[in-house]
């Protein structure tokens, strides 16, 4: 009789251990996800393949720039967020392929593709060690996604077991400018 209780106790203990392991063991995406580097505006974050420093965030309702010999003006139903930043490759040449605006609510917005040909866009050129590139990353976001956002920068869009810079942006930003001319801003 006591042998049956011992077997039943061992079975219950094994079941509890298995349920506990299943419940508290992290999933594959969490185990192989990005390795976060956290910082704030003005700090240089150095990852495995690049370093990044976000210096300033500007908001605008419309943007103007000169591309391919003609003037282009873009508007949006939300707001344009311009991040002035510097990127540099670390040990070897690299393309930084991902810049994401993560709102306080968790929504993610990739850098806008509507600005091809605009001056000094970051993420379009290959980075070289010792040659930092200073320029802009432009996002098109809803107005409610401005406050408390985080800038995510990584070498690839879905970094696995690689560094991802997470730069906390200011909790409150100025009122959006009616128009920003990128041709004048690019050298700021």
The model scores a pTM over 0.95: no
User: pLDDT in tens for each of the 188 residues of the chain?
Assistant: 677 888 888 888 888 888 888 888 888 777 888 889 999 999 999 988 999 999 999 999 999 998 888 898 999 999 999 999 999 998 888 888 889 999 999 999 999 988 888 888 887 788 889 899 999 999 999 999 999 999 999 988 778 878 899 999 988 888 899 988 988 875 55
The dihedral through the CA atoms of 106, 145, 52, 123 has a sign that is positive
Please list the residues that pair with 94 across neighbouring strands.
127
Structure tokens at 11: 């079975």
The dihedral through the CA atoms of 29, 35, 39, 40 has a sign that is negative
CA angle 172, 178, 182 (to 5 degrees): 95
Q: Are 147 and 102 a contacting pair, CB within 8 Å?
A: no
For the domain covering 34-185, report its CATH number: 2.60.40.1240
Domains of the chain: which residue ranges? 1-31, 34-185
**What pLDDT is stored for residue 59 in this prediction?**
94
């Amino acid at each position: 009789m006591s042998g049956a209780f011992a077997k039943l106790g061992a079975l219950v203990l094994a079941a509890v251990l298995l349920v506990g392991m299943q419940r508290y063991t992290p999933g594959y995406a969490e185990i192989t996800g990005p390795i976060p580097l956290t910082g704030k505006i003005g700090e240089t974050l150095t990852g495995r393949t690049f370093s990044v420093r976000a210096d300033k965030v500007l908001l605008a309702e419309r943007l103007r720039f000169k591309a391919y010999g003609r003037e282009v003006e873009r508007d949006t139903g939300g707001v344009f967020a311009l991040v002035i930043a510097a990127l540099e490759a670390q040990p070897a040449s690299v393309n930084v392929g991902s810049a994401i605006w993560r709102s306080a609510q968790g929504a993610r917005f990739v850098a806008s593709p509507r600005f091809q040909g605009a001056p000094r866009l970051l993420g379009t050129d290959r980075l070289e060690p010792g040659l930092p590139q200073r320029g802009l990353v432009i996002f098109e976001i809803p107005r409610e996604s401005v406050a408390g956002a985080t800038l995510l920068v990584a070498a690839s869009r879905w970094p696995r077991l690689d560094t991802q810079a997470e730069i906390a942006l200011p909790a409150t930003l100025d009122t959006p400018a009616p128009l920003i001319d990128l041709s004048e801003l690019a050298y700021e």
